[in-house]
Amino acid sequence: MNLKAGGTILKRAGAVLAALCALAVFAPLTGCQQTKSDTSVEAIVKATVDDHSYAKPQVARVNHIDVDLTADFAKKLFKGTATLTLTTEANAKQVILDVKALKIDKVTDASGAPLKYSIGKDDPMMGSALAIELPQGAQKIIVHYQTSADSAALQWLDPSQTAGKTRPFLFSQGQEIRTRTWIPTQDSPAIRQTYTARIVVPSDLSVVMAAKALTPKGEAVPGRASQRAYRFEMDQAIAPYLIAIAIGDIGFKELGPRTGVYAEKSMLDKSAYELEGMESLLTAAEKLYGPYRWGRYDVLVLPPSFPYGGMENPMVTFATPTILAGDRSLVSLIAHELAHSWSGNLVTNATWSDFWLNEGFTVYFENRIMEQVYGKDRADMLKVLGYQDLQKTLAETKPDFTRLHPNLKGIDPADYFSDIPYEKGAAFLRMLEAHFGRKKLDAYLKGYFERYAFESMTTDAFVADLRVHLLKNDGELEKQLKIQQWLYGPGLPDNVVVPTSPLLDKVTADAEGFAAGGDAAALKVDDYGTLQWVNFLRKLPAGLTVEQMAALDVRFDFSRSKNSEILFEWLQLSIKHRYEPALPMVETFLLSQGRNKFCKPLYQSLMEQPDWGVEMAKRVYAKARPGYHEMTRANVDKVVGTS
Ligand code: BES
Ligand code: ZN
């Protein structure tokens, strides 16, 4: 395959050697062990370069981090130290870390002796390389530093931005390349690290981290009566983007033996009610793909500016409060984040070009959990809605960005974020499921999680594994299933399995019937749940009359829906139809939460209405922007502009 590239002779020799080895007879003579491992999964991952990190882990690698940080809510920063434990090659002269928006005060060795260091050019996406000179044999270095207002991993909230309104709040978001803005380390998902943390905070606040809590109630800090310290430990090696923290007036409620919920105290009961079924999701997940390896599984419900639906931080998923519909109907999001405990946290994408290995696997797995707990009808509806998202994205996206394995050199991984890695990735696994059957595919997936537990994985290495363990080295079959086209090509191969749902077909017919002049009062919607409503609203065509919109609103009260997914679809429709009575609710919704998935498309729809929407988008955004997370701001800035 690589014969055209440089080093032809060597590679040819290698190929011949490999061919001889395949015949096995020559094995004792030619050292085939070596050749075999060159094409092994481990070797492929090792040889892969992460374009989004400056680190040179072959020379010196961070294995473990101890952070000791004090949170300063007045200045909105952390100050303290990160002690890094390294593995180095014999003559390593320096270690390179990733840093961005950090103020480095000094770097010392374990005994406190200063070490020389230099900070490279500051790239707007990547930040800088922090190169630290290593004394012979050094295994520990201590970085003294503080974060800054530009630390994009951290959002410091004023009391007014919280549910309780009386105390400030802080949360972090590391994925994809933000951890370097609050911890100086090698910020690549292939460089797994364990960590401990000691976090000092004002004594009226508590700390949650994606780690084992060693001091759940905190401990006194000698000489500092107004502060408490919390200690944590993560003793399983994780990718640095999964290090996470939240500080606030946070309470906890147990849900099951291994599950519980954290939230601001005023949101705790509501959160616990919504997430009551979590333990059964966990049991279902384990039945599918093997034991849960992280001890506890808790969820932290964050204040409304959290820019994602959920983030799979190990042991404690961070979640948006927009899943609190009051009827437990949005738990598929929890199934998704829980599934990442296998696909993502246990076996992790080695680079951001391999992101589909996290998200595609997880969407597939999420749906299997949902099917097991809530039945096939509900799982099928979720699949169909996901497929609608995929079709829409494919239609709107340049073909080059529809690849599962894109080249992201020089590109911020956040700019690749779309439904492609999620839904095309899941569609790939469903194609395999259709061919091999569930029994074989499940055995394969379970084996995959076992084989690579606590390792990072590339797409190429996955293919190597797939060939051995599922395709059984059948090259013809690989072609027939269009594996290369699926993983490396644009668009959607024609052996995609198009999901169907009789329940949603009925809903689509209802929507079309209504649009064609049917009576809102005659719609039979007794069995409609959230997913049916989402489909109903999506299937209403453009060009409804104001009377039709009003009839729907009167009958179903959409403008006052407490369900964020339904409300979102309704507000989209309302903007497209300039349905005036719902427009105040557009403003209220955009001001009351900052989830990128809702904000960006709503502003986009407003901007598509030149005679009134542009003005409204700019006016609302001017008010809302200060409360949004940096990620949502960056996205909405592109749509609305910053002025
Ligand atoms: N890991 C993602 C969130 C993420 C992706 C954060 C990329 C930063 C960069 C998480 O698992 C996720 O996919 N969340 C979805 C919800 C899910 C049900 C599809 C979200 O936030 O909308
Ligand atoms: Zn995900």
Q: pLDDT per residue over 591-631, tens digit each? A: 999 999 999 999 999 999 999 999 999 999 999 999 999 99
| 176 known member of a binding site | no
Cα(324)–Cα(327) distance, integer angstroms: 8
> How many angstroms does the Cα of residue 546 sit away from the middle of ligand 2?
38
Q: 3-state class of 246 per DSSP?
A: strand
Amino acid (1-letter code) at residue 608 = E
User: Which structure tokens are listed for 188?
Assistant: 């690549």
Q: Which long-range contacts (CB under 8 A, 24 or more apart) does 479-485 make?
A: 481/431, 481/432, 481/435
175 annotated ligand-binding residue: yes
pLDDT at 258: 98
H/E element, 425: helix 425-436
Residue 36's pLDDT is 39
- Report how far residue 589's alpha carbon sits from residue 595's, in angstroms, rounded to the nearest whole number: 10
Full-model pTM? 0.94
Dihedral (Cα; 37, 40, 46, 50), 10-degree rounding: 150
Cα separation, 340 vs 311, in Å, equals 9
CA 440 to ligand 2 center in whole angstroms: 24
CA-nearest of 566, 562, 565, 632 to 604 is: 632
- Contact present, 636 and 621 (Cβ < 8 Å): yes
Of all protein residues, the one whose alpha carbon is nearest to atom 17 of ligand 1 is 333
CB of 323 within 8 A of CB of 330?
A: yes
Structural domains of the chain ordered from first start: 8-47 (no CATH), 57-238 (2.60.40.1730), 335-488 (1.10.390.10), 502-640 (1.25.40.320)
In the predicted structure, residue 13 carries a pLDDT above the cut 90: no
Query: Percent helix, strand, coil in the chain (nearest 5)?
Result: 45, 20, 35
* Number of the ligand 1 atom closest to the C-alpha atom of 363: 19
Which atom of ligand 1 is closest in space to residue 336's alpha carbon? 18
- Ligand 1 residue neighbourhood (C-beta within 6 Å): 175-176, 308-312, 333, 336-337, 340, 359, 417, 597
Residue 235's SS3 state is strand
Residue 120 is labelled as binding a ligand: no
Pocket test for ligand 1, best of 241, 311, 330 (most atoms within 8 A of CB): 311
- Is 596 labeled as ligand-binding? yes
| Per-residue pLDDT band at 547 (split at 50, 70, 90) | very high
Q: Rounded CA gap, 273 and 370, in Å?
A: 19
Of 65, 17, 70, 24, nearest to 39 by C-alpha is 17
Atom of ligand 1 nearest to the CA of 176: 9
Catalytic center residues: 337, 422
Counting ligand 1 atoms within 8 A of each CB, the residue from 52, 302, 308 with the most, and so the one to mutate, is: 308
The CA distances from residue 600 to 414, 595, 625, 639, in Å, are 14, 8, 12, 7
- Closest residue (by CA) to atom 1 of ligand 1? 311
Tokens found for residue 345: 């946290």
* pLDDT above 50 (res 391): yes
* Residue 251 marked as a ligand binder: no
Q: Whose CA is nearest to atom 5 of ligand 1?
A: 175
Residue nearest to atom 22 of ligand 1 (CA): 309
8 Å CB contact between 412 and 51: no
The pLDDT score that the predictor gives to residue 202 is 98
pLDDT band at 3 (very low <50, low <70, confident <90, very high): very low
Write out pLDDT tens, residues 219-243: 999 999 999 999 999 999 999 999 9
